[in-house]
Amino acid sequence: MNYNDQMKNRVKRIEGQLRGILRMMEENKECKDVITQLSAARTAIDRTIGVVVSANLVECVQKDSEQDNLSTEELVKEAVNLLVKSR
């Protein structure tokens, strides 16, 4: 699987967000502010999942199909299942 620098940078930014959230909690910041940042981190994770899945979907599905001898219909179902799991 190929994870490019853009994908890795997204994860590094999320890591920074999570550290910031933890610092906010340790400083007893307002609940509303913490929840806002948690929501932003969750959105960033969801978008990163989408980037990884879309960039590697063909490769993932092709590898599985070669190993399992899946039909085109089964390949499409597998691809949809992978996207649904990411939500």
Q: Find the domain containing 69 and state its range.
A: 5-85
Q: What is the CATH number of the domain that holds 63?
A: 1.20.58.1000
Give the span between the Cα atoms of 41 and 16, in whole angstroms. Answer: 10
Q: For 36-69, what is each residue's pLDDT tens digit?
A: 999 999 999 989 988 887 777 667 666 666 666 6
Q: How many distinct structural domains can be found in the chain?
A: 1
Long-range contacts of 53-56, Cβ-Cβ distance < 8 Å, separation of 24 or more: 53/82, 53/83, 53/86, 55/2, 55/4, 55/7, 56/1, 56/2
Residue 68 has a pLDDT of 67
DSSP tag of 87: -
